Amino acid sequence: MSKFDKIFDIPEDLSLEIPKVTILGFNKMLIENYKSVLEYQDFFIRIKMSTGLININGFELFMNEMTKDDLIITGNIESVDFEKYE
> Are the CB atoms for 51 and 86 separated by under 8 Å?
no
pLDDT surpasses 70 at 10: no
- What does R_g of the chain's alpha carbons equal in angstroms? 14
Spatial CA neighbour of 73 closest among 17, 19, 32:
32
pLDDT higher than threshold 60 for residue 4: no
Pick from 45, 43, 44, 51: nearest CA to 66: 45
The CATH code of domain 19-84 reads 2.60.40.2000
Q: What is the pLDDT of residue 6?
A: 57
Q: What are phi and psi of 33, to 5 degrees?
A: 65, 40
Record the pTM: 0.80
Rounded CA separation 3/80 (Å): 36
Q: What pLDDT digit, counting tens, does each position of 17-70 carry?
A: 789 999 999 999 999 999 999 999 999 999 999 999 999 999 999 999 899 989
Q: How is the chain split into domains, by residue range? A: 19-84
Would the pLDDT of 1 be above 80? no
Beta bridge mates, 15: none
More confident: 63 or 12: 63
